[in-house]
């Protein structure tokens, strides 16, 4: 599916679903801006757009394959970007609770082409604004790119907030839970944070030089927006670093608690075994099938029982005196 949005600078109006066969006429003015959005497109549609703008075959190949990380490739007349948008499903069972959706972008002098396999809310928000007025597209393609990426970054803040809530819940749960569920929850949380950082760190590097030596052309009036975008990315990454350290601390604390509980259990079982050992020896000794002194006395069993009780009390008193229990 191909959607088109055109800002006609000469008439200062927005047009939609324009005829791409007249591309040269549409882009005759440097102040005009053409946005082509390819959603769930076929290979033929992609190559059709590639031939129309003479995109490099390697860039088109990257669009057809899933790229593992964000990147920027510079060509003579355009730049090619690969971004990733995050989707968060906390209750996912058969797959990771956080996943990424690739967004490929061709950024030219007065055009921008976006390609994504499924619907992206970040792109949809910008498209809805462009359907109403020229608020976004009259500032150039670099501002439109900023707006799309900024929406993708903004979608990460609810994920970060939810991860913080889960860490707070786990901090309380580790002192109460004794099962394997807590361990699995901490491991899932750690994997989610790793995947989040894996997506955002390369995207941060793309915009890292906007304040100085630009990685790609940015109009002077749009530089503050990219600096704000970098601040948002830095904020998310700093928070994710904190959460990563907290998750590691949670795991260490939980294992320490489990070790303490195991030691306590072993101590109790050891004390029980130590108390039972002499009692077993006594009952075994008097249970031998031989003649023993006092075995014909009707009070012998009570003497033996009282002796065993006294021995047990003495041992427990000694253990408590040594603060072993």
What percent of the chain lies above the pLDDT cut of 90?
18
What's the CA gap between 208 and 119, in Å, rounded? 28
Provide the pLDDT for residue 265: 82
Mean pLDDT computed over 148-164:
92
At 283, is the pLDDT very low, low, confident or very high (cuts 50, 70, 90)?
confident
At 93, is the pLDDT very low, low, confident or very high (cuts 50, 70, 90)?
low
Return the closest-CA partner of residue 85 out of 101, 65, 63, 64.
101
pLDDT in tens, 81-92: 999 998 888 665
Domain range list for the chain: 1-139
- pLDDT over threshold 60, residue 95: no
Which tokens hold the place of 223? 């530089």
Helices (H), 207-299: 223-286
Provide the pLDDT for residue 212: 54
Sheet holding 71-74, edge to edge: 13-16, 2-8, 33-39, 111-116, 98-107, 79-88, 71-74
- Taking a C-beta distance cutoff of 8 angstroms, is the pair 49, 80 a contact? no
- pLDDT over threshold 90, residue 239: yes
Compute the Cα dihedral for 192, 193, 198, 201 and give only its sign. positive
What is each CA distance from 255 to 171, 175, 183, 193, in whole angstroms?
13, 11, 9, 20
Containing H/E element for 81?
strand 79-88
Provide the pLDDT for residue 179: 60
Provide the pLDDT for residue 186: 85
Dihedral, CA of residue 234, residue 110, residue 221 and residue 127, to nearest 10 = -60
Helices (H) and strands (E) in the chain, counts: 9, 7
Higher confidence at residue 80 or residue 96?
80
Provide the pLDDT for residue 214: 54
Residue positions counted in the chain: 325
DSSP string, 214-230: -SS---GGGHHHHHHHH
What's the CA gap between 38 and 80, in Å, rounded? 15
pLDDT in tens, 21-80: 777 788 778 788 899 899 888 888 888 888 888 899 999 998 888 888 888 888 888 899
The pLDDT mean for the chain works out to 84
- pLDDT over threshold 70, residue 211: no
Mean pLDDT computed over 253-270:
82
pTM for the whole structure: 0.78
Which tokens hold the place of 154? 């903004």
At 153, is the pLDDT very low, low, confident or very high (cuts 50, 70, 90)?
very high
Least confident residue range of 212-216, 234-238, 318-322: 212-216
Name 34's bridge partners. 6, 111
Return the closest-CA partner of residue 145 out of 78, 244, 198.
78
**CATH second-level architecture of 1-139?**
2-Layer Sandwich (3.30)
Containing H/E element for 310?
helix 300-321
CB atoms within 10 A of CB 144: 24
| 49 contacts: CB under 8 Å, gap ≥ 6 | 2, 20, 36, 38, 55, 113
What percent of the chain lies above the pLDDT cut of 70?
94
What's the CA gap between 155 and 56, in Å, rounded? 31
């Amino acid at each position: 599916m191909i959607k088109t949005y055109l800002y006609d600078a000469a008439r200062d109006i927005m047009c939609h679903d324009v005829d791409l066969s007249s591309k040269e006429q549409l882009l005759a003015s440097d102040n005009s801006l053409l946005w082509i959005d390819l959603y769930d497109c076929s290979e033929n549609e992609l190559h059709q757009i590639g031939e129309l703008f003479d995109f490099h075959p390697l860039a088109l190949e990257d669009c057809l394959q899933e790229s593992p990380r964000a990147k920027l490739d510079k060509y003579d007349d355009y730049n090619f970007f690969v971004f990733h948008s995050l989707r968060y499903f906390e209750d996912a069972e058969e797959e990771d609770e956080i996943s990424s959706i690739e967004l490929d972008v061709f950024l030219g002098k007065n055009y921008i082409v976006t390609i994504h396999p499924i619907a992206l809310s970040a792109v949809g928000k910008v498209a809805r604004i462009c359907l109403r007025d020229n608020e976004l597209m009259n500032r150039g393609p670099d501002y439109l790119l900023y707006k799309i990426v900024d929406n993708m970054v903004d979608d990460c803040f609810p994920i970060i907030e939810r991860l913080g809530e889960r860490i707070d819940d786990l901090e309380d749960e580790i002192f109460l839970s004794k099962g394997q569920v807590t361990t699995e929850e901490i491991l899932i949380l750690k994997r989610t944070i790793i995947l989040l950082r894996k997506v955002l760190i390369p995207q941060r590097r793309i915009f890292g030089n906007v304040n100085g030596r630009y990685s790609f052309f940015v109009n002077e009036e749009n530089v503050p927006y990219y600096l704000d975008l970098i601040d948002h990315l830095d904020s998310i990454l700093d928070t994710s670093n904190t959460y990563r350290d907290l998750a590691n601390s949670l795991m260490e604390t939980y294992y320490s608690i489990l070790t303490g509980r195991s030691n306590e259990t072993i101590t109790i079982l050891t004390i029980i075994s130590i108390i039972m050992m002499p009692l077993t020896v006594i009952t075994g000794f008097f249970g031998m099938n031989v003649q023993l002194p006092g075995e014909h006395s009707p009070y012998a069993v009570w003497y033996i029982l009282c002796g065993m009780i006294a021995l047990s009390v003495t041992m427990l008193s000694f253990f408590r005196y040594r603060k072993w229990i």
